[in-house]
Amino acid sequence: YDVSGTPAIVERVGANGGIASNFTINYDLPAATNAPAYPAGTYAPGIYHPLKLWGMTGVGMDDQGRLFVSTNEMGSAIRCFKKSNGNWILDWQLIGMFFVDNVFYDETTDAVDVYGVQEHFKMDFSKTTAGSEWSLYGYTLDSYTYKNDGRGIEDVKAKFEHGITSAMVRVLNGKRFLYTNGMTNNFINIYRFKEGTDIAVPSGLISESYDLYGTDVQWPPNKPFANDPGNISFIWRDTNGDGDYQSGEYVQTSHSYNQNFWVDKQGNIWDNGNPVICRKFAGLDSQGNPIYNDANTVTYSISGVGSDIKRVILQEEYDRLILLEGGQDCRTLTGGKIYVVDNWSTGNRSARYVCGLGAPQPASIAVAGDYLFDCGWETQSKVWVTDLRNGQQVGQLIGGPEIGGSSNTGWVDIGFGIEAYKRQNGEYVVFVEDDYIAKVVMYRWWPDGGPEPTPTATPTSQPAKNIPGKIEAESYNSMSGIQTESTSDTGGGLNVGWTDTGDWMDYAVNVQSSGSYNVKFRVASTNSNTKIDLR
């Protein structure tokens, strides 16, 4: 504003429409404190750019002409902008996106994409400085268009919920879907992603008909059985595609929702108890919503274990069903025992006992590879690790000085406060809720203590290599994105690894004479059909 006289607008800052806008910018924002570079281009709805502002709570300016903007909608941020060559660029930003929440990995990208209930992060695992791996890529909640989306309603606290928490991501029929739960596991919300965007649209819900903290407030709206809270289990599906809740879109289900939360890779939803309930993914409807109904729900009676099964996790790659039996409620698992049903796909329905839990008051478990991870309430971000092959504890993951130790983190008090994933290179990443200082704690763990990558410094200038001749992979002059590690190969000092699409290395060569040359590479990859581009 020009306030020398009657206040008048002289400039507008930010994208019209906020995070849900299709925002085109014709200049680059260079990297800033706590932020990567943002090149010129178009940022689709839901894709983050610092000039996409939403949930604004304050605006200010200092005597240097810098503009400060604070935002708060299921996560807080402060952004500082400054002028450069007549354009507003980012000077720094502080972002705290979490409170009582955890994240989940996208297996199809090997955990490069990680999701919270409304956040989408990109991970750069080539970085080794604690906390440097993540950047905010998207914000999937559009609370302006989808006003009844429970993620954007502060009062959605069904029964004892603290709001919507605990994301899970699956790709079904080539489409990405977000599943969420709550602090005390009382519903499963399902979201489809709007084509060409990073906006997640309300798509389905499996729940009981709860009051909100004993009030007369009802969510979601228009439930046809709203006057019978706590006794009706229902499935809602967005059959008209508007992302809102109409009374004709609810159906009652004869299978009560029992507070487990596991969506397998085929989209089947597993619930606890014995018999175990499995709601089969029955495809997508005309609006792109996953279909779940009683006609496609099956139950499995499991022998060798009691009836009080509180966790059910299908590990397809190991063909086994992981069960937790015992405990007090959905997030108090003290006394719980782990059982495994081997050879699940071939019809075995008999469980074998494996181990107890490590945490003194466990709240949550996760399984990845051959390991069980569990954590508890007062022990905060400390994680106990057990080998599922023999039931033996192998140790603990404990927060280091970069977070002030595990004692400087909050309780794990949501039912799915820990998640774990084994990356293709053998590294485990373990995510733990921290409801104290607005974050999720991430551990990176190698069971055998390696191969811990060597941080790759800016390479020193290398002399040109003679051709014909042998060039060691690590003898590059410049590179982008790769890391090195020690090797026992004869004549080779380092391996070059952790290469992803778009990573490169540049070598200076001295070709001694013109002619045709044969080039041979030594390459190891966990994936088939990978390619090297020589230029």
Residue range 164-177, pLDDT digits in tens: 889 999 999 999 99
Domains: count for the chain: 2
Residue 523: per-residue pLDDT: 77
- 506 inside domain: yes
304 neighbors 323 (Cβ within 8 angstroms) = no
- Among 76, 96, 116, the domain-final residue is 96
- Residue-number span of the structural domain to which 71 is assigned: 18-96
> What is the side-by-side order of every strand in the sheet holding 87-96?
56-61, 67-72, 76-84, 87-96
Task: Give the DSSP per-residue string, 14-68.
Answer: S-TTGGGS-EEESS-B--BBTB--B-SEEE-TTB--TT---SEEEEEE-TT--EE
- 169 inside domain: no
Q: Which of helix, strand or coil describes residue 471?
A: coil
- 70 inside domain: yes
Classify residue 158 by its DSSP letter. Answer: B
* Residue appearing with tokens 């810098």: 66
pLDDT at 116 over 90: yes
Residue 217: per-residue pLDDT: 64
pLDDT at 3 over 90: no
- 75 inside domain: yes
- Among 66, 96, 126, the domain-final residue is 96
Look up the pTM and report it: 0.82
Residue 323: per-residue pLDDT: 98
pLDDT at 208 over 60: yes
- 52 inside domain: yes
Burial call 388-397: b when 16+ CB within 10 Å, e when fewer: beeeeeeeeb
Nearest CA-CA partner of 252 in 223, 216, 288, 281 = 223
Residue 454: per-residue pLDDT: 43
- Among 75, 96, 117, the domain-final residue is 96
440 neighbors 417 (Cβ within 8 angstroms) = no
- 533 inside domain: yes
**Contacting residues for 51 by C-beta, under 8 A, at least 6 apart:** 13, 14, 15, 23, 25, 29, 88
Nearest CA-CA partner of 357 in 387, 384, 330, 323 = 384
Q: How far apart are the C-alpha atoms of 187 and 260, rounded to whole Å?
A: 9
Q: How far apart are the C-alpha atoms of 201 and 141, rounded to whole Å?
A: 8
Q: Which of helix, strand or coil describes residue 364?
A: strand
Residue 532: per-residue pLDDT: 77
Range of 101-110, 255-264, 432-441 with top mean pLDDT: 101-110
Task: Give the DSSP per-residue string, 394-414.
Answer: EEEE---GGGT-GGGS----S
Q: Which of helix, strand or coil describes residue 207?
A: strand
Residue 510's pLDDT band, with cuts at 50, 70 and 90, is confident
- 119 inside domain: no
> Tokens for 409?
């983190």
- 453 inside domain: no
